[in-house]
Amino acid sequence: MDYKRLIAQLVKVDGVTENEIYDLLALPKDSAMGDYCLPCFKFASILRTSPMNIANNIAASITSQGFLSKVEAVAGYVNFTLNKTEFAERVLQKIAAEGNDYGKCNDGEGKTICIDYSSVNIAKPFHMGHLLNTVIGGALYRIFGALGYNVVGINHLGDWGTQFGKLIVAYKMWGDKQDIDRRGVRGLLDIYVKFHKEAEQNPKLDDEARAWFKAIEDGNQEALELFEWFKQITLKEVGKIYDRLSVKFDSYAGESFYNDKMAPVLDKLRELGLLEVSDGAQVVRFDDKENMPPCLLVRADGATLYATRDMAAAFYRKQTYDFYKCLYVVAYQQNLHFRQIFKVLEMMGCEWSKDMVHVAHGMVSLEDGALSTRGGNVVFLEDVLNKAVAKALDIINDKNPDLPDKEATAEMVGVGAIIFGVLFNSRIKDMVFSYDKALNFDGETGPYVQYTYARCNSLLERCGSIDCVADYKGVDNKESADLIRLLDRYPDILKDCARKYEPSILTRYIVDVAKAFNKFYFEHNINNAEDAIKKARLSLVSATKQVILNGLTMLGIKAPLRM
């Protein structure tokens, strides 16, 4: 319920619009002060009187309203307290009526958002480094979708570069088709690492690799077949991980897709006089005030680069999707790259360059191991997921050995713990991931929230349905009101995540909901309450269960009914 709107409509201040009032309405620090407060300090200069006077006048001007139980001026603020039983009834009925759709809206109707995320590299392991962009991108994809945007998830595959030449050489020398079919990317990684070791002794191998890469570019059939095979192996493997993380893409147009789409962009740059030759290479230089090195687009040997492909991709996306925003969920190491790309587009006169956003994120490392891609010492994300699932199974065996379908539950809990754990911090922060912290059933974790969800479910199953009219006085107490106020905010939380490209707002919110629920649950008896009261409390349990489910679904986390 948009109570802020209702309140904004009631408050009249000369020279201030309803929307300005709406934006000023805030949540009081202490819920005992009220449910909303309006600071009057900004009005003092317009009305030429003290904020205290203004607050007093506003409070006095508001006549009694069914949805408000109290309006009070305190030290330059007007505090509004909602009529709790009326409020409870409205919020709980709304959540019950909307169910899985609670929180959805059509704000984004008619607007397309491209989200470039995960964007893994072919023939390289899906390692921890790609965990964050995959889960942040996945969450944003679902959140924008829920807000009514048309979302296009793009996996900008790293499927171009000399490493494919190296792999072909390595495969032809030491490759064993059966082993690679069986072990997938791990098999490819082994021969790739071996290539690097051997090439140190024998530089001729590098020449061969270059020749094979050229063969791919020239469309040589044997080279293309191997390249496609490496790609299929990788995609099959990452596909399994995407399923476990509940992540989906609408396009897998990767770097190689832009092979024939770079020339027109380079021509245009030349035409505009933006492309300069520097030591044989072709670059775009920036104004001194940008404080950025030139953007290298063609190397002296004529080869194009990562940046050239991103330039072509930007035009392609604008033409194909006519996006309202184009997001790149990529680690902050690539800050410079994206600043350069966006600036070059701006210099080319693309007014839509302002709609490109680098949603930068930090790094995740493991408490028990360094994150290194050199020398084959990589942490495979698959192993991390499996380890979390095994630990979850141990905990379940310990806590609830008779639980049916333990393996399936452990999968939801283990994978959920990882997603929740890495989405808990603001995206820009680096973090050290700890299995034990993420799997702590009593911490601010995925399992804690899932456990609360299962608790709601079992309460509803156990107490059954009651045939009477609910008495919402049953939820007229501080713990219930705190919880209901939180549940009411869920739709705004989604919007806030979208505005800031920040899923952690939702992750933290779900923890707050679970905590508030557990306070309510420990303070107020449900099962032994009289029927009408019990019915109201159960509707609060049911609304909590729904909001946790909706929120976890946005994050890509599944919720077991029992655990």
Residue 2 C-beta: closest distance to ligand ARG, Å: 38
Of 70-78, 116-124, 235-243, 494-502, which segment contacts ligand ARG by CB under 6 A? Answer: 116-124
Counting contacts by CB under 6 A, is residue 158 touching ligand ARG?
A: yes
Counting contacts by CB under 6 A, is residue 152 touching ligand ARG?
A: no
Q: Residues 35, 208, 237, 310: which binds ligand ARG (CB under 6 A)?
A: 310
What's the CA gap between 118 and 327, in Å, rounded?
12
HSE toward the beta carbon, residue 55, CA cutoff 13 A? 20
Q: Residues 112, 121, 340, 353: which binds ligand ARG (CB under 6 A)?
A: 121
Footprint of ligand ARG on 530-559 (CB under 6 A)? none
Residue 195 C-beta: closest distance to ligand ARG, Å: 20
Residue 313 C-beta: closest distance to ligand ARG, Å: 6
HSE toward the beta carbon, residue 279, CA cutoff 13 A? 4
Residue 253 C-beta: closest distance to ligand ARG, Å: 10
Q: Residues 249, 328, 472, 521: which binds ligand ARG (CB under 6 A)?
A: 328
Which secondary structure element, helix H or strand E, spans residue 114, and what is its range?
A: strand 112-116
Counting contacts by CB under 6 A, is residue 163 touching ligand ARG?
A: no
**Residue 213 has which token pair?**
């890469």
What's the CA gap between 474 and 190, in Å, rounded?
64
Of 115-123, 264-272, 403-411, 450-458, which segment contacts ligand ARG by CB under 6 A? Answer: 115-123
Residue 251 C-beta: closest distance to ligand ARG, Å: 12
Residue 356 C-beta: closest distance to ligand ARG, Å: 10
Counting contacts by CB under 6 A, is residue 119 touching ligand ARG?
A: yes
Tell which residue, 355, 344, 511, 493, has the closest CA to residue 424. 511
Q: Are 355 and 326 in contact (CB under 8 A)?
A: yes
Q: Using CB atoms within 10 A of its CB, is residue 60 exposed (0-12), middle (13-18) or buried (19+)? A: exposed
Q: Tell the residue number behind the tokens 């399936």, with chain if given.
A: 408
Q: Angle formed by the axes of helices 221-244 and 163-174, to 10°?
A: 100
Residue 256 C-beta: closest distance to ligand ARG, Å: 12
Q: Which is nearer to ligand ARG, 310 or 479 (CB)?
A: 310
Q: Which is nearer to ligand ARG, 68 or 311 (CB)?
A: 311
Size of the site for ligand ARG (CB under 6 A): 9
Q: Which is nearer to ligand ARG, 330 or 486 (CB)?
A: 330
Q: Which is nearer to ligand ARG, 355 or 512 (CB)?
A: 355
Q: Residues 156, 231, 485, 545: which binds ligand ARG (CB under 6 A)?
A: 156
What's the CA gap between 234 and 191, in Å, rounded?
15
What's the angle, vertex CA 487, arms to CA 414 and CA 477, rounded to 5? 115
Counting contacts by CB under 6 A, is residue 304 touching ligand ARG?
A: no
Q: Are 475 and 537 in contact (CB under 8 A)?
A: yes
Residue 391 C-beta: closest distance to ligand ARG, Å: 28
**Residue 99 has which token pair?**
């169910």
The values of phi and psi at residue 505, to 5°, are -60, -40
Q: Are 502 and 135 in contact (CB under 8 A)?
A: no
370: amino acid identity, one letter: A
Q: Which residues bind ligand ARG (CB under 6 A)?
A: 116, 119, 121, 156, 158, 310, 313, 328, 330
